[in-house]
Amino acid sequence: MTSFPLYPKSKGKAKSSVKIAKNLFKESLKDWKDPLLALLDQRNTLSEEIGSSPVQRLMSRRTRGLVPTATTMLKPKVEENVRDKIKLWKQKAKH
């Protein structure tokens, strides 16, 4: 869906995700850590409302990071009813 570029409400999610990424990079550089590993950890973190991480929804499996992970968790597994969970989560937030 297209929207007017100067309409601030249409850019809310994009601004929020850019702000989160910038904060991750700033914090990791302040602690002398690799910013890409911080981004990897953010993508591997499960979202409480949906029950899966963004990487799991995209690739149907978890990715390897610095935190040790069981090999059974790295095998592909398609998450079911993700769209329904996201829709329910949005309805709860709207209410």
Question: H helices within the chain, ranges in order?
Answer: 12-30, 35-44, 54-59, 82-94
Q: How far apart are CA 6 and CA 85, in angstroms?
A: 32
- pLDDT, tens digit, for every residue of 4-54? 667 666 677 778 878 888 888 888 888 888 888 888 888 777 777 777 788
User: How far apart are alpha carbons 94 and 71 in whole angstroms?
Assistant: 38
pLDDT tens column, 73-90? 777 777 777 778 888 878
Residue 83 confidence (pLDDT)? 79
Closest to 61 (Cα-Cα) out of 40, 87, 53:
53
For the chain, the domains span 10-44, 47-95
Nearest to 86 by CA among 35, 36, 60, 47: 47
* Confidence bin at 66 (pLDDT 50/70/90): confident
